[in-house]
Amino acid sequence: MSLTTVATQKEGQKVPSVNFIMHNNDNWATRSTTDIFDNKTVVVFSLPGAFTPTCSSSHLPRYNELASVFKSNGVDEIVCLSVNDTFVMNAWAADQEAENVTLIPDGNGEFTAGMGLLVDKKELGFGKRSWRYSMLVKNGIIEKMFIEPNKPGDPFEVSDADTMLNYINPNAKAPDDIIVFSKAGCPHCAKAKSALAEQGLSYEEIVVGKDIKLKGLRAASGEVTVPQVFINGEHIGDSEQLINYLAK
């Protein structure tokens, strides 16, 4: 029986009953599946391992980025689960700055085994890990699952945040991708960031001289002055051009 066939059978079923062992603030604790799922709508995405390339570059960051949109569409919590110990998951959470996602260590693989998605990745030296998938759980019952196809390697085709959001609400609008190139102490940069904040728009700031060199700014924008603002890949320009754009 393939992974996909097994996993599809979990829709309409209750999530496995497990206590997750965690270490926070120098104290050991447990968090039960009852605490996570009862009387709540929860999005879960599970992946092969913390700090691994796809998990760190795409899977976790996008769920973190879309967390406010999920919340506005009725999701109470977003949970990232991996067959790693609590110290690895804590370190990964700090490294990723994924403040909008709850990282849960399934250290013994009990929950993943209960889902029928514990796989052997010994050829990579990983041992038993989770197959990549996502699911929507309402009051402990699995409503929908997106399970990656049973292919060699680590496919990442359907368990992404955008696919889940589209299932929950096909009309939901993802936030604009906004990048602000700035310099420390630049008053025009502060003006641009304030204009975005007034509109409730979040952005990623790239500081010239710290995160990127001047030639990087020139290569991206064709300019050597800051700020330079991009929205959804479109070069908007400096603070005055941004204010005019937002006014429209």
Rounded to two decimals, the pTM is 0.81
Domain that holds residue 140: 3-168
Say whether pLDDT at 5 is over 60: no
Judge if 127 and 208 occupy the same domain: no
139 falls within a domain:
yes
Mark which of 136, 168, 200 sits at the end of a domain. Answer: 168
Residue 219 belongs to domain with CATH number: 3.40.30.10
In this structure, are 54 and 164 located in the same domain? yes
pLDDT at 121: 87
- Exposure string (b/e) for 70-108, b if CB count within 10 Å is 16 or more? beeeebebbbbbbbbbbebbbebbeebebeebbbbbbbe
186 assigned to active site: no
Q: What is the pLDDT of residue 200?
A: 85
- Is 109 a member of any domain? yes
Per-residue pLDDT of 169-205, as tens digits, reads: 999 988 899 999 999 999 999 999 999 999 988 899 9
Tracing tokens 């299932």 back to the chain, one arrives at 167
CA atoms within 13 A on the CB side of 194: 8
For residue range 19-49, what is the model confidence (pLDDT) as tens digits? 999 998 889 999 999 999 999 999 999 999 9
pLDDT at site 1: 41
Out of 55, 80, 186, 189, pick the active-site residue: 55
> Which of these three, 147, 168, 189, is where a domain ends?
168
Amino acid at 197: A
Q: Name the amino acid, one letter, at 82.
A: S
Distance, CA of 127 to CA of 132 (rounded, Å): 15
Residues 238 and 164 grouped into a single domain: no
215-243 core/surface letters (b: 16 or more CB in 10 A; e: else): eebeeebeeeebbbbbbeeeebbbbeebb
3-state secondary structure of 104: strand
Domains contained in the chain, number: 2
- Helices marked H in the chain: 3-8, 33-37, 53-54, 60-65, 67-72, 86-96, 110-114, 161-168, 187-198, 214-221, 239-247
Has residue 173 been placed in a domain?
Answer: no
